[in-house]
Structure 1
Amino acid sequence: MTMKLDESLFSVPGLRRGLRFYVTAPTPCPYLEDQFERKAFTHLAQASPDALHHQLSEAGFRRSQAVAYRPACPSCNACRSVRVDANNFKLSRNQSRIVNRNRDLVRTPVEPKATREQFRLLKNYLLARHKGGGMSDMGYREYVGMINESPVQTLLFEYREGSEPDSPLVAVSLTDVLRDGFSMVYTFFDPRQSQRSLGTYMVLDHILSAEDYALPHVYLGYWIKGSQKMDYKRRFQPLEVLDGPVWRRLEDDE
């Protein structure tokens, strides 16, 4: 069940007139025990969707298919939007080792079109890493919707063990291209290759390749202080957090 939400609750400068927000019914929070989450959302499939998507992303929204959403929990504001300052990013020693470990992989940007090969990789990933999670019973038709139904500029980055089209596919990132950065919507990878640290590697690869696209940021979604599931995002420094309407550097003691 959804209901209309007063757009005055959101600080989105220059938001087009007439844009409607809705809020979902409460559901159990996947990150904090004994908490319930609600999401505010609006539809992107309308006039100038890329401009609207960029505007909303700067205000802390994320995309799922043709919808932009943001947490709207009345008694909790633990979810914080974060992005990496790609222009000032420096690899740590451990991150350099991860990049070198994956030098044999070939990244290819392709149109966001679902394939059976990608879907098999996703199912193996979900079975190994998120068994019983919200996406674990996803069927191929739902996967097609997740990948294909984007009204904004989106790419799939495929990572293969070689340059041939039939080289083994080991990782995939569904990535939106904003005016000021990559937004990593969803990633998955071969869970058998844990030695590669593929999840970390894909984030590093986006940060390092952002310069090729003249993009200063990589948006990583939400971060919750004290959440083990999200703590990995602090490894990519400098990390910026959305504080009200302003993006600022996330301090070490936060």
Structure 2
Amino acid sequence: MSQYKNLRFYATQPHECSYLPEEQATTLFMDPEILLNKQLCSDLAEVGFRRSGQHIYRPHCNRCRACIPARVPVYSFQMRRTQRKTWNRNSTLRVSRVSADFQDEHFLLYEKYINQCHQDGDMYPATIEQYTSFLVDSTEFTSFYEFRLDGQLLAVSVVDHLQSSLSAIYTFYDPDYLQRSLGRYCILWLIAETKKLGLPYLHLGYWIRNCQKMNYKIEYRPVELYISQEWRQLK
């Protein structure tokens, strides 16, 4: 990272945390004037940064260190029994990789997902402007993976293709099909795809121990957590 010592970063003012309401959050953003490229995003992912739209960020809270970057070393991953059932349950889905462009079909699914599943979140209610800035205003190495059943769009995973990993930016799915566990299946599929591409890691974003919504991220074992400036394996 020494080649990036001149990068500029800016911290937000403390604000209410979206995941732990009793905490005040501060976010560190890379200078938005810096042009994103694959190598830069890859290197920053290795030290715990994430991408949202055109922004690269990392939690930078004064007293809380609850947000921990998580990634799956895909060559070591082994499905558990419940994961195998989820995998088999969705074996008839067809997956296609498409460009990260705005499509009405994608937005309508995103809108349905946010408005039904995340009414308590800061992305509710879903709007075209928010969706576009979050997911469509991406990079040349971003793809959308469509998951379809008999032609019907059930889920979309937004993924960055980095130098030594895939980075799962966001997944949204049809809440009418909760019995399929589509969110968990998409991660299982991305683990398999990462391995197929010959890449060692799938980044899953931040895990927060005391946030139930984040617990799923450590179900994929072994998982590596970025703690004290190094990746440590949780078996």
> Shorter-chain TM-score: which interval?
over 0.9
Alignment check: 8 A CA contact 1:45 1:66 kept? no
* Distance in 2 of aligned mates of 1:199 and 1:89: 18
TM-score, length-scaled by structure 1 = 0.88
**Residue 106 of structure 1: aligned partner:** 94
**Residue 177 of structure 1: aligned partner:** 161
Shift in Å at residue 241 of structure 1? 0.5
Alignment check: 8 A CA contact 2:18 2:122 kept? no
1:68-217 counterparts in 2 under 5 A? 68-162=56-150, 167-217=151-201
TM-score, length-scaled by structure 2 = 0.95
Distance 1:142 1:228, change over 3 A: closer
* Distance in 2 of aligned mates of 1:206 and 1:45: 31
Alignment check: 8 A CA contact 2:166 2:199 kept? yes
Letter in 2 for 1:56: L
Shift in Å at residue 242 of structure 1? 0.6
- Any idea what the Cα deviations from partners look like across 1:48-83, whole Å, max 9, x if unmatched? 621110111000000011111000001111111110
Worse-superposed segment, 41-50 or 151-160:
41-50
- Within the candidate set 36, 52, 75, 1:64 is matched to 52
**Residue 40 of structure 2: aligned partner:** 52
Q: Which runs of 5+ in 1 are unaligned?
A: 1-12
Is 1:222 aligned to 2:210, yes or no?
A: no
SS of corresponding position for 2:213: coil
Query: What do you get for the CA RMSD once the two structures are aligned?
Result: 1.5
**Residue 7 of structure 2: aligned partner:** 19
Count of aligned pairs: 235
- Any idea what the Cα deviations from partners look like across 1:27-60, whole Å, max 9, x if unmatched? 1112213111010011466456211101110000
Percent of aligned pairs sharing the same letter: 36
SS of corresponding position for 1:107: strand
- Any idea what the Cα deviations from partners look like across 1:181-237, whole Å, max 9, x if unmatched? 111111100001011000100000000111221111110111112321111111100
* Distance in 1 of aligned mates of 2:205 and 2:45: 9
1:5-44 counterparts in 2 under 5 A? 13-43=1-31
Letter in 2 for 1:216: P
Give the 4+ runs in structure 1 shifted more than 3 A.
43-48
Letter in 2 for 1:168: Q
Bigger CA radius of gyration: 1
